[in-house]
A and B are shown apart, each in its own frame.
Chain A
Amino acid sequence: DAKTTQPTSMDCAEGRAANLPCNHSTISGNEYVYWYRQIHSQGPQYIIHGLKNNETNEMASLIITEDRKSSTLILPHATLRDTAVYYCIVRNQAGTALIFGKGTTLSVSS
C-alpha cells in the first residue's frame, strides 16, 4: 500500500475552512484515499473517501489532484468539536484492514 505523508499539526480559527493536506506520491491506480479522524479518547471516525474525483459529504470535501499524488481534506467551517487527529490512508478497497499513520493534529480555536 502507498505511504502517506501529513503535517504533524495544524491550527485553524473557528468558523474558517480547515485544509488538511496529504501526500501519497506512490499511490497506484486501484488505491483509494480515505480520511478518518480521532477525537480525543474516542474511536476513529470515518469522514470521506475517493478514488479520482472530488467528493463531498455532510462532513467534508475531498480534493484529489489530477495525478492523484496528493489530496486535501476540507472542513468548510471548522468548529471546536473538529479538534482531532486526522488520518489520511491509502488503501486498495480489497485490502483487509486500515493501516494508520501518525496523522495531523488539527487544533481549532475560538
Chain B
Amino acid sequence: DTAVSQTPKYLVTQMGNDKSIKCEQNLGHDTMYWYKQDSKKFLKIMFSYNNKELIINETVPNRFSPKSPDKAHLNLHINSLELGDSAVYFCASSQGRRLAEAFFGQGTRLTVV
C-alpha cells in the first residue's frame, strides 16, 4: 500500500482553469503538508494542516486553497491557473509535528499551457 498517494500524477490544463489535486495518507498521521517544487528544483512549503487545522500558510496566492475533510486527506484546489503555477506539487505527512519521518507522495506534475 502506498503511504502517501496523490492524484493525478500528471495534470495538463489551460490558463484560467480551476483544478484540484488530491492527497491521501494511510499512515494514521495527523499532520499533512503541501510543497511546491519549481523548475529550479527548489522545494517550498505552501501549507500545513494539523488535525484538520491550518497551521502553516506561507505566502501563497489566494487562488490556492487547501481543504482537509479529515486527517487522512489534504486536497489542493487552484483557481484561475497561471503559467507560473506550473511545477511539481508534493504532499507529505508526519505524526504530530515531529519532523523525523515525514513521508512524501510521488508528486503531481502540473503544466499550465
In the complex, whether A110 has a CB less than 8 A from a CB of chain B is no
> Cβ of B4 and Cβ of A43 under 8 Å apart?
yes
> Cβ of B104 and Cβ of A45 under 8 Å apart?
yes
If over half of B's interface residues share one DSSP class (helix, strand or loop), that class is named, otherwise mixed; here it is strand
Write out the residue numbers on chain B whose beta carbons fall within 8 Å of the beta carbon of A91.
Answer: 99
Chain A 87-110: CB-based contact to B (< 8 A → 1; otherwise 0): 100010111111110100000000
> Cβ of A42 and Cβ of B99 under 8 Å apart?
no
In the complex, whether B106 has a CB less than 8 A from a CB of chain A is yes
Q: How many residues of A contact B (CB 8 A)?
A: 22
Chain A 10-44: CB-based contact to B (< 8 A → 1; otherwise 0): 00000000000000000000001010001001111
B77 to chain A: closest CB distance in Å?
Answer: 20
- Stretch in contact with the other chain, from B13-21, B37-45, B63-71: B37-45
CB-contact partner of B101 in A38, A41, A46, A100, under 8 A: A46
In the complex, whether B102 has a CB less than 8 A from a CB of chain A is yes
Closest to B106 in A: A43
Once the chains are docked, how many angstroms separate the CA of A91 from the CA of B45? Answer: 14
If over half of A's interface residues share one DSSP class (helix, strand or loop), that class is named, otherwise mixed; here it is loop
CB-contact partner of A100 in B43, B55, B103, B106, under 8 A: B43
> Cβ of B100 and Cβ of A96 under 8 Å apart?
no
> Cβ of A98 and Cβ of B99 under 8 Å apart?
yes
Closest to B55 in A: A96
Closest to A89 in B: B99
In the complex, whether B56 has a CB less than 8 A from a CB of chain A is yes
In the complex, whether A62 has a CB less than 8 A from a CB of chain B is no
> Sorted from nearest, which 7 A-B pairs have the closest CB atoms?
A43-B104, A100-B43, A97-B45, A44-B104, A46-B101, A43-B90, A49-B100
A-B contact pairs, 29 of them (CB 8 A): A32-B100, A34-B100, A41-B107, A42-B106, A43-B4, A43-B92, A43-B105, A44-B43, A44-B90, A44-B92, A44-B104, A45-B104, A46-B102, A46-B103, A49-B100, A87-B43, A91-B99, A93-B97, A94-B97, A95-B97, A96-B55, A96-B56, A96-B97, A97-B45, A97-B48, A97-B56, A98-B45, A98-B99, A100-B43
